[in-house]
Amino acid sequence: MSINPAWYLSLSIVLFAIGALGVLVRRNVLIMFMCVELMLNASNLAFVTFARTLHDIGGQVLVFFVLVVAAAEVVVGLGIVVAIFRRRANADADDLHLMKG
């Protein structure tokens, strides 16, 4: 029994929408980073679904590039969050002006 690829794409759309809504609504930087990661994983699910449906390995190769971008985003983003936490007790998206010299 095989699951229809439309279900995977529907799940990918729902996950991406949840992540986008989280980025737009929440002000906590850590939650925003988690929502961006959720959006990247939703795109990975769509790439793998298309690669499997079309019997092409290109989508799976693209997933590795997305994972590299996600890892780089986490490293840079967490560095910024740690720098903000050292100056203040909380980290909101509005506190990024503290990073000025």
Count Cβ neighbours within 10 Å for each residue of 4-42 and write b for 16 or more, e otherwise. Answer: eeeebbeebeebbeebeebbeeeeebeebbebbebbbbb
Domain boundaries, the chain: 5-99
Q: pLDDT per residue over 58-96, tens digit each?
A: 999 999 999 999 999 889 988 888 887 787 777 777 766
DSSP, residue by residue, 22-60: HHHH--BHHHHHHHHHHHHHHHHHHHHHHHHHHT-THHH
CA distance 30 to 36: 10
CATH number of the domain located at residue range(s) 5-99 in this protein: 1.10.287.3510
What pLDDT is recorded for position 89?
Answer: 73
What pLDDT is recorded for position 98?
Answer: 64
pTM of this prediction? Answer: 0.83
Q: pLDDT per residue over 30-56, tens digit each?
A: 888 899 999 999 999 999 999 999 999
What pLDDT is recorded for position 72?
Answer: 92
Break the chain down into helix, strand, coil percent, rounded to 5.
Answer: 85, 0, 15
Average pLDDT over residues 1-18: 94
Average pLDDT over residues 8-14: 97
